[in-house]
Amino acid sequence: MARWLKRGMDASAIKAADAKVRETVEHILADVEARGDVAIRELSRKFDGWEPKSFRLTDAEIDHAIGQVAKRDLEDIKFAQSQVRHFAQKQKETMRDLEVETLPGVILGHRHIPVASIGCYVPGGRYPMVASAHMSIVTAKVAGVKRIIACAPPFRGGPHPAIVAAMHFGGADEIFVLGGVQAVAAMALGTETIPGVDMIVGPGNAYVAEAKRQLFGRVGIDLLAGPTETLIIADDSVDGEICATDLLGQAEHGPTSPAVLITDSEKLARATMAEVDRLLSILPTADAAKKAWEDFGEVIVCDGTDEMVKEADRVASEHVQVMTRDPDYFLNNMVNYGSLFLGPRTNVAYGDKVIGTNHTLPTKKAARYTGGLWVGKFLKTCTFQKVLTDEASAMVGEYCSRLCVLEGFLGHAEQANVRVRRYGRRNVGYAQAAE
């Protein structure tokens, strides 16, 4: 039976904080919808101290920002985007349009149609999340989205040069220096100067995530991304230092980021906890990582591999780092995870920044029912049907007529009956089932 050497914060405390966020976001969305650009300007001044003449960057301002980025940094951004682009293109190749004759004279099919316009949010509060521009903008571009707008908050009084560069090279058509709920609201609802979009994507803080939740339905969203989560599954083939490093490497995202270790070795569990304490004394971002570890860190000791799989699927973490003698066992048996990182040679930071898979992934146990952002999220799979012969229409019509009457949908039945009469040359009573 699984044993906890360390547990995280009680769920009731988390729920109380969520309620306050919901109320704040609701008021901001209503304000933006009612007052448009005026509300956006006031909110940006209030929360970010930012009130430019125009939130949208001109071509000259974009060029100026890119000119402030070091050559090596630009090369690294372009390399990362090439990896994301390549993998997204390979994913898209698996999504084929379909047309098939399912019965003589009956053609069914589907087409993958890109979403017309999207808004990409790139966080820039605690950390300027340059990589998030790759994940949303580049992937949408590969999918064929025609209009891509991107927002990121101001950084130290202006646009963050590297984020602007990533947005531009990723393929954004419009770039805005605008942050928080007001940015999401502007893109989703539209204002006098920011035409609304069909879909909002990208991670953010609790307020941004809540804004996406409240707007879902009016626009599409990629998924509801909460605080970054990491789960490490390890046995005694690795040591405490590498486990602790990978836990804290994600805990530094923020003070509410869960970091969990599942192992079948109590010795490794205790060694990892000791290493966490040691590394927190030297890690420059320990202020966030320590709080996350204290409040949301967990260490679970299991009796064998099968129990480790069971516990991992229960946790359903966003990121799962597997460092065991047989990591493929978890690939073949786990079902609830955002993304798997198999073996000690890879790690979550690779996926976050450069390796090519998308880092916008399900959190808060959403991995039970969805995967993360990928090229397919920007494509609508839309079906079509054709009936080519009189015989096929009459034959399908007879079945349809009877099934509609069975459900009491007599108007539906007549849609079938009129075709049975015309194409099958059979006399069917009005609103009656075809015999």
Catalytic residue status for 93: no
Cα–Cα dist 313/306, whole Å: 11
Beta strands in 147-249 (DSSP E): 147-152, 174-177, 199-201, 220-221, 230-234
Indicate the residue type of 30: A
Long-range contacts of 242-246 (CB under 8 A, 24+ apart): 242/323, 242/344, 243/268, 243/272, 243/275, 243/323, 244/272, 244/273, 244/275, 244/276, 244/278, 244/279, 245/275, 245/279, 246/321, 246/347, 246/348
Exactly one of 319, 359, 407, 414 is catalytic; name it.
319
Q: At a CB cut-off of 8 Å and minimum separation 6, what does 201 contact?
A: 118, 119, 120, 121, 136, 140, 221, 222, 360, 373, 377
* H or E element at residue 25: helix 11-35
The answer to whether 193 and 37 have CB atoms below 8 angstroms apart is yes
Cα–Cα dist 57/405, whole Å: 60
Exactly one of 210, 252, 275, 318 is catalytic; name it.
318
- Residue carrying the six token digits 């009016």: 218
Catalytic residue status for 319: yes
User: CB atoms < 10 A from the CB of 403, how many?
Assistant: 14
For the annotated catalytic residues, the residue numbers are: 318-319
